[in-house]
DNA sequence: ATGACTCCATAGATTTTTTTTATGGATAGT
DNA sequence: ACTATCCATAAAAAAAATCTATGGAGTCAT
C-alpha cells in the first residue's frame, strides 16, 4: 500500500470544496501539488474518482464511498494523535497506586492531590493494603506504583529504598516535652502503644528498649498509628511512630496540635520502598509520580533525620 | 498532523517483533530507516514509546495503547484500499437498474447474467416499471441506469436514444409466412393483439394501418407482448411487436419455435432510451453496463432494422 | 465574438524528505 | 576477551513532494 496521509487529506478537502484550487488554498499547497496528489490516489487505487468535465471535477459515486471511509480513518487518526499528545503532556493517562496504611492516611492523598492539580483528565486509582499484598500486586503488574515496607529482594520488582527514622509522640504538656531527644530509658515502664506483634516497627522498638535495658510497657496494640496518636492525645500512652504517620498527623491538625514528635534513641528504623514492576518500563505518568514521591520521602528523611 | 502511514506501519512492526532490525527486514528497509521513523514518531507525538535499555527497545505502556489505535487505523485503511481496488476492477459495487416491461422479460436479465459472469460480488437491483416511473426514478437519482421509452426532453437526465423497428409476429404455418415483408394491407381486418389504448406502440400501429387504408381489427388488448405472443401461438391473432420482445421470445424458445417475426411495413417505430442521471457522473460499473446495453440494442437494430 | 477569468493538467526545476551506507557504543553470550 | 547483535547517528544518495510556469478548455460578461 503506497498511499500517504497527505493524499487522503487532500482527497477529503477536494471532496469537501469540490475544487482542487480551493482545496490547495486550504491545505496551504499549490494547485498542481493537490492535482498530482489526487492523480496519484486514483492511480494507486485504480479508480477514477472524478470525471473531468468542462474543466471541472465532478464526483463519481466511487468517490463518495471512499470519502466516508477516508473521513472515518482520518478522524480516528487525529483523535488518537491528540490523545497521545495529551499523554505526552501528562494531561491524560491512568495511574494505579498501591500504598501501605501509614502513608495512605494523609501523605499519599495529599501528594496525589498536588500531582493532579494541573491534570484534570488523569485517572488515578489508589488502594490501601498491607505491604505483603502490595508487593504481590506490583509483581503481577496490576499496579504502576507501590509504597510499602521494603520487601525481600524480588527480581520482578524495581525497589527504591528509603530508611526512615521513627519518632516519639508525646503530648506537648508532657513532662518529657522539654527534652530535645527522647530515649528508651526515658520511656522505660511508661505505657506505650505499638503495632501488632511481628510488625517490623514493633520488633525494632523492642530491640531499642532491650539495647537500653529499658522496660517496654505495651499498653495498646494497634494496626496503624492513626488511633495510637489519638490515645497519646488522651494522655494514655506514648508511641514510637514512623515519620509518615507523624507528618500526616501534623499536617492534618493545621498548626494547632496537642502532640509533639521528638527524635527517639536508639534508632528505630522503618525501611519503606517505592515499588515498580521491573522489566516493564513505567509510563511517563508513573515516572513523574515516582519522582514526586521520592522527593517527598527525601524531604521527610531530611526533616526528621 | 505530520505523521506518515509508513511511520505507523513501522511502529506496528516494531511492536510486533520487538526489534527495529527485525521490523526493518520485514518492511524491506534498512535498520536506520526504521530507527529514524520511530524517532520521528516519538518526536511528533511528544511521547517516548520505548525505553532504550541495555541496547534494546522495551515497550512502554503508552506504546501499547497507541498500538491498538494504530492497528485499527491501518486495518481500516487496508480493507478500504482493497475494496477500492476491487471496485476499480469491477469486482465489487452496486448497480441499480430500472427497466421497461418489454426488455425486462428476457433481454435485460440475460444481459445482466452475462455482465455478472466474472463479477461475483456485484450487487444488482433490477426493477420493472412503466416508462413514466422509470423516468422519475432516474431523475431523482434513485437508479443508476434506466431503459424506457424515450421520455420528453429532461435536463436532469442523460438519454441515449435508439429507434427500433417493430416486427410482425405470426405462426410459422401461417399462410403469410412465405412473404418476406408483412404489410398493413396483408393484415387488414385480420385479428390483432395490441397494447393498451394510448401506448405509443398502439398509436404507431394505428397510424400504419391508417396510412395503408387498412382496417385494424383489434381482437386483444394486452399490457405487454409476452401474453400477446402466446395468443399468436394459439392461432388467435397476429401482433406488431417490438424487437426486444421478439428477440426475447426467440431466445427463450431455444431454436424450436412456433412463431416467425417478419419485417412490417409501413414503419412502426418504438423509440427507447438508456437513461442516466445527468450532472452526476456514472460509476464505472454503470458505465460498463451502459456500454453492454448499448451494444445489445445496436445489435437488435442491425438485425431487424 | 472576444477578452478576462477560472478551472485543471503537465513539465521541468527545486526543495524537502526518506533511505542508505558507514560507523560507533553498548550489551550478551561463549 | 572475542564475537555477534542491538540501536543511534551522521553524511551521502536517492526518491518524493512541491513549486513555478504554462497551456488548454470552459464560463461569463460585454
Inter-residue contact A143 to A99 (CB < 8 Å): no
**In whole angstroms, how far apart are CA A215 and each of A205, A232, A236, B79, B93?**
11, 19, 17, 79, 92
| Of B143, B112, B126, residue with least CA distance to B275 | B143
Q: What is the mean pLDDT of residues A109-120?
A: 92
Per-residue confidence (pLDDT) for residue A253, from 0 to 100: 78
Per-residue confidence (pLDDT) for residue A212, from 0 to 100: 87
The verdict on a CB contact (< 8 Å) between A3 and B77 is yes
* Span B228-259, pLDDT tens digits: 999 999 999 999 999 999 988 888 877 778 89
Per-residue confidence (pLDDT) for residue A278, from 0 to 100: 86
Using CB atoms, which residue from A47, A72, A281 is nearest to B87? A47
pTM for this model (two decimals): 0.82
Per-residue confidence (pLDDT) for residue B261, from 0 to 100: 93
Using CB atoms, which residue from A50, A73, A81 is nearest to B3? A81
Residues in contact with A60: Cβ distance below 8 Å, sequence separation at least 6, in sequence order: A48, A49, A50, A51, B281, B282, B283, B284
**In whole angstroms, how far apart are CA B194 and each of A191, B191, B202?**
122, 10, 6
* Span A43-59, pLDDT tens digits: 999 999 999 887 789 99
The verdict on a CB contact (< 8 Å) between B88 and A47 is yes
Q: Is A124 exposed, middle or buried (0-12, 13-18, 19+ CB in 10 A)?
A: middle
DSSP secondary structure letters along A89-108: TTSEEEEEEEE-HHHHTTHH
The verdict on a CB contact (< 8 Å) between B88 and A46 is yes
Per-residue confidence (pLDDT) for residue A70, from 0 to 100: 98
A53 reaches B (C-beta below 8 A): yes
Name the nucleotide with the smallest C1'–CA separation from B19. Answer: D6
Using CB atoms, which residue from A45, A78, A87 is nearest to B84? A45
**Cβ < 7 Å from nucleic strand D:** A 4, 6, 28-33, 36-37, 40, 54-55; B 19-22, 31-32, 35-36, 38-39, 50, 52, 55-57
Per-residue confidence (pLDDT) for residue A198, from 0 to 100: 84
Inter-residue contact B139 to B213 (CB < 8 Å): no
B75 reaches A (C-beta below 8 A): no
Per-residue confidence (pLDDT) for residue B129, from 0 to 100: 94
Q: Find cell 406502440 and name the residue.
A: B201
| Whole-number CA gyration radius for chain A | 32
- What does the alpha-carbon distance between residue B146 and residue B103 come to, in Å, rounded to a whole number? 11
pLDDT for B123 beyond 90: yes
Per-residue confidence (pLDDT) for residue A52, from 0 to 100: 84
DSSP secondary structure letters along A117-162: TT-TEEEEEEEE--HHHHHHHHHTTS-SEEEEEPPSP-TTEEEEEE
**Cβ < 7 Å from nucleic strand C:** A 19-22, 31-32, 35-36, 38-39, 50, 52, 55-57; B 4, 6, 28-33, 36-37, 40, 54-55
Q: Is B195 exposed, middle or buried (0-12, 13-18, 19+ CB in 10 A)?
A: buried
Beta-sheet pairing, B121-128 with B92-99: parallel
Beta-sheet pairing, A56-59 with A92-99: unpaired
Substitution target in A80, A94, A284, A289 with the highest count of B β-carbons within 10 Å is A80
Name the nucleotide with the smallest C1'–CA separation from A2. Answer: D16
Inter-residue contact A5 to A81 (CB < 8 Å): no
Q: Which nucleotides of D are covered by protein (CB under 7 A)?
A: 5-11, 16-21, 24-27
* Span B69-105, pLDDT tens digits: 999 999 999 999 999 999 998 889 999 999 998 898 8
The verdict on a CB contact (< 8 Å) between A80 and B59 is no
| Whole-number CA gyration radius for chain B | 32
Q: Is B22 exposed, middle or buried (0-12, 13-18, 19+ CB in 10 A)?
A: middle
- What does the alpha-carbon distance between residue B41 and residue B3 come to, in Å, rounded to a whole number? 7
Q: What is the mean pLDDT of residues B43-66?
A: 91
* Span A2-25, pLDDT tens digits: 899 999 999 999 999 999 999 999
| Of A77, A56, A61, residue with least CA distance to A3 | A77
The verdict on a CB contact (< 8 Å) between B77 and A73 is yes
Per-residue confidence (pLDDT) for residue A274, from 0 to 100: 96
User: Which one-letter DSSP state was computed for residue A263?
Assistant: E
Give bridge partners of residue A183 from the DSSP assignment. Answer: A265
- What does the alpha-carbon distance between residue A42 and residue A31 come to, in Å, rounded to a whole number? 17
B181 reaches A (C-beta below 8 A): no
* Span A76-109, pLDDT tens digits: 999 999 999 999 988 899 999 999 988 988 899 9
Q: Find cell 515497550 and name the residue.
A: B59
B44 CA to C28 C1' distance (Å) = 33
* CA A42 from centre of chain: 50
* Span B203-212, pLDDT tens digits: 999 999 999 8
- What does the alpha-carbon distance between residue A22 and residue A280 come to, in Å, rounded to a whole number? 49
Edge-to-edge strands, sheet with A182-183: A182-183, A259-265, A167-171, A238-241, A191-195, A217-222
pLDDT for B55 beyond 90: no
**In whole angstroms, how far apart are CA A150 and each of A130, A135, A296, B109?**
12, 9, 17, 82
b/e string for A276-304 if b means 16 or more Cβ within 10 A? Answer: bbeebbbbbbbbbbbeebeebbeebeeeb
Sign of CA dihedral A13, A16, A20, A26: negative
Q: Find cell 416467425 and name the residue.
A: B260
Q: Which nucleotides of C are covered by protein (CB under 7 A)?
A: 6-12, 17-22, 25-28
Per-residue confidence (pLDDT) for residue B238, from 0 to 100: 94
Inter-residue contact B198 to B277 (CB < 8 Å): no
Q: What is the mean pLDDT of residues B22-32?
A: 95
Amino acid at each position: 500500500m503506497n498511499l500517504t496521509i497527505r493524499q487522503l487529506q487532500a482527497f477529503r478537502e477536494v471532496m469537501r470544496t469540490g475544487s482542487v484550487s480551493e482545496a490547495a488554498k486550504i491545505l496551504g499547497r499549490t494547485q498542481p501539488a493537490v492535482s498530482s496528489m489526487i492523480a496519484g490516489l486514483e492511480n494507486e487505487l485504480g479508480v477514477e474518482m472524478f470525471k473531468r468535465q468542462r474543466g471541472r471535477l465532478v464526483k463519481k459515486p466511487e468517490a463518495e464511498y471512499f470519502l466516508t471511509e477516508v473521513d472515518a480513518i482520518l478522524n480516528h487518526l487525529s483523535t488518537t494523535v491528540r490523545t497521545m499528545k495529551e499523554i505526552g503532556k501528562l494531561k491524560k493517562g491512568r495511574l494505579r497506586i498501591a500504598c501501605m496504611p501509614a502513608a495512605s492516611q494523609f501523605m499519599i492523598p495529599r501528594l496525589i492531590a498536588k500531582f493532579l492539580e494541573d491534570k484534570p483528565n488523569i485517572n488515578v486509582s489508589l488502594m490501601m493494603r498491607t505491604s505483603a499484598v502490595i508487593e504481590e500486586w506490583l509483581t503481577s503488574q496490576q499496579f504502576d506504583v507501590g509504597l510499602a515496607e521494603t520487601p525481600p529482594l524480588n527480581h520482578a520488582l524495581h525497589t527504591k529504598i528509603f530508611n526512615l527514622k521513627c519518632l516519639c509522640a508525646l503530648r506537648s504538656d508532657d513532662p518529657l516535652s522539654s527534652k530535645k531527644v527522647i530515649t528508651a530509658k526515658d520511656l522505660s515502664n511508661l505505657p506505650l502503644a505499638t503495632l501488632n506483634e511481628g510488625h517490623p516497627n514493633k520488633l525494632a522498638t523492642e530491640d531499642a528498649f532491650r539495647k537500653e535495658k529499658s522496660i517496654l510497657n505495651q499498653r495498646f496494640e494497634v494496626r496503624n498509628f492513626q488511633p495510637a496518636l489519638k490515645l497519646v492525645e488522651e494522655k494514655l500512652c506514648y508511641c514510637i511512630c514512623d515519620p509518615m504517620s507523624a507528618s500526616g498527623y501534623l499536617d492534618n491538625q493545621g498548626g494547632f496540635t496537642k502532640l509533639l514528635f521528638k527524635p527517639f534513641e536508639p534508632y528505630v528504623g522503618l525501611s519503606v520502598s517505592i515499588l515498580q514492576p521491573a522489566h516493564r518500563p513505567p509510563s511517563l505518568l508513573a515516572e513523574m509520580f515516582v519522582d514526586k514521591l521520592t522527593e517527598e520521602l527525601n524531604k521527610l528523611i531530611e526533616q526528621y533525620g
